[in-house]
Amino acid sequence: MVKSFLIITICQIFLYASEQIVLVVSNDFNSQKAVLSCFEDNKRVFETIEVNIGKNGLGFGLGTRALLRTNDEPLKQEGDKKAPIGIFTLDSIFGYEEDLKFKMPYLHATKALICVDDSNSNYYNQIIEIKDEKPKSFEYMKRDDGQYELGIVVGHNKEQIKERGSCIFIHVEKAKGEPTAGCTSMSLEDIKKIAAWLDKSKNPILIQVTKSQLGEISKLYPRLELQE
């Protein structure tokens, strides 16, 4: 039993060491601001970036594993304008230009491409091309503004659990310092830098938490250089 535990622990550390990690940390659950750091092989790359998160702060989302939560701490819900707390895969990059080259899958955001936020749709929380019958609620991936000029798809609520939140991205900020409807946003320049760095073969993830949860993250990722 002890040997099995040690093997699992060693494998977890090896896995975590091989990941690219985007870490977003806010002061508390109600903050509209956070600080983003990028890590590769447990070491920090780039300078930290100030980012915008949900207008109503953060709520616990649905990612690759559950983080500790007390009963009075908020859950992420559809339309609550909270960004999700958790550990999430970073699945692909999207943008307005047709033929951009990245080390990640790339989605060309045409006017036919939508993300479905209708919780009763079979396509809930999926990015699809418009079908003959449109879902009751969705958003176009090719917007009339620059917010989706370049962005990253966050693997939140992949099991499509109703009303637990959809269409979570890292994208371009609407205006400097303006909070989001539940995503994480920053300048186009910073998005470009992160998108060029991400590599699907390195299993990139987003960890998005409050400062009070950093102790838990340190236990999960003991080799991660969280201190400056």
- Whether the CB-CB separation of 217 and 207 falls below 8 Å is answered with yes
Cα–Cα distance for residue pair 206/194, rounded to 1 Å:
12
pLDDT (tens place) for every residue of the chain, 228 residues total = 444 434 444 444 444 445 899 999 999 999 999 999 999 999 999 999 999 999 999 999 999 999 999 999 999 999 999 999 999 999 999 999 998 999 999 999 999 999 999 999 999 999 999 877 889 999 999 999 999 999 999 999 999 999 999 999 999 999 999 999 999 999 999 999 999 999 999 999 999 999 999 999 999 999 998 875
Hey, where are the domains in the chain?
A: 2-220
Q: Give the pLDDT score at 225.
A: 87
Burial 89-119 (b: 16+ CB within 10 A, else e): bbbbbbbbeeeeebebebbebeeebbbbbbb
Cα–Cα distance for residue pair 200/168, rounded to 1 Å:
18
Cα–Cα distance for residue pair 40/58, rounded to 1 Å:
25
Among residues 157, 116, 106, 158, which one has the least CA distance to residue 138?
116
Range 2-220 classified under CATH 3.10.300.10: no
Which tokens belong to 79?
């339309």
Task: List CB contacts of 6: < 8 A, sequence separation 6 or more.
Answer: none
Task: List CB contacts of 185: < 8 A, sequence separation 6 or more.
Answer: 51, 52, 147, 170, 171, 172, 173, 174, 178
Q: What is the layout of strands, in order, in the sheet containing 138-140?
A: 127-129, 113-116, 138-140
SS3 42: coil
78 sits in which H/E element: none
